[in-house]
Amino acid sequence: MSDLKESGVDTARQENITRILDSAERLFRHYGYAKTNVADIARDLDMSPANIYRFFASKTEIHQALCARMLAANYQQAFEISRLPLSPTERLRRYAHAQHKLTVETMLDEQKVHEMVVVAIEREWHVIEKHIDRIDQLLAGVIREGIEAGEFAEQDPEVAARCFDASLITLCHPQMVAQCLAKQNRATPDELIEFAIKALKK
């Protein structure tokens, strides 16, 4: 009986957390991160700020949870691509194009989301570092398959994954993408991706 009770409490708590995060994301997208405070989120949910603080200690903590949720969706996309029944080369190509598309569509076209991401990057939150490590592990797995299949040269797949990801930073880092989109003398996404893939094959 106590287990059922605890399960009900956990479910209700998670529902409240989801509601708070959904509201915060909606307000951050509409008004911007800097112009939204905990009182605004509480008002949007028709609850008191004290009730919000039962689940999150601060606006920063809400932002961190939102960041983690966005990165989880990003990781899921990368994971699904890494498991496609395609050659390792094609999976890496699709991964890189998908990352660039996601950055442009959700972090640049929606300027308020871009603001949230930039704040998170500038604060060097652990959740971002953890995400980078998880992505690199996925890429290392694909590269390892490519080495075994003879598509890529013999090399340390983990080092290769970190280098591959780093070489495409201008396609995935929102601030760099924003700068490069307006420049005519920058390599195109296709050029960068093909260059990075060729480096694995030498």
Please state the φ and ψ torsions of residue 85, each to the nearest 5 degrees.
-80, 60
At 180 the pLDDT is 63
Tell me the average pLDDT across 107-119. Answer: 62
Tell me the average pLDDT across 121-129: 73
Please report the pLDDT score of residue 92 as a whole number. Answer: 97
Angle, vertex CA 63, rays to CA 104 and CA 182, nearest 5: 20
pTM for the whole thing?
Answer: 0.78
pLDDT tens per residue, range 17-33: 999 999 998 898 888 88
Over the stretch 43-83, which tens digit does the pLDDT of each residue have?
A: 999 999 999 999 999 998 998 888 888 888 889 999 999 99
User: What does the pLDDT read at residue 124?
Assistant: 61
State the pLDDT at residue 17: 92
Q: What pLDDT, on a 0 to 100 scale, did the predictor assign at position 4? A: 46
Q: At what angle do helices 2-31 and 111-122 cross, to 10 degrees?
A: 110
Domains of the chain with bracketed CATH: 1-56 (1.10.10.60), 63-201 (1.10.357.10)
Instruction: At 113, list the tokens.
Output: 């989301």
- Give, as one character, the DSSP assignment of residue 32: -
Higher pLDDT, 105 or 71: 71
**pLDDT at residue number 28:** 84
**pLDDT beyond 70 at 98:** yes
What pLDDT is recorded for position 181?
A: 64
Residue range 134-166, pLDDT digits in tens: 999 999 999 999 999 999 999 999 999 999 999
Indicate the average pLDDT of the chain: 85
At residue 137, the pLDDT reads 96
Is the pLDDT higher at 184 or at 73?
A: 73
Please check the confidence at residue 2 and state whether its pLDDT lies above 60: no
Q: Nearest Cα to 106, choosing from 65, 63, 136, 73? A: 73
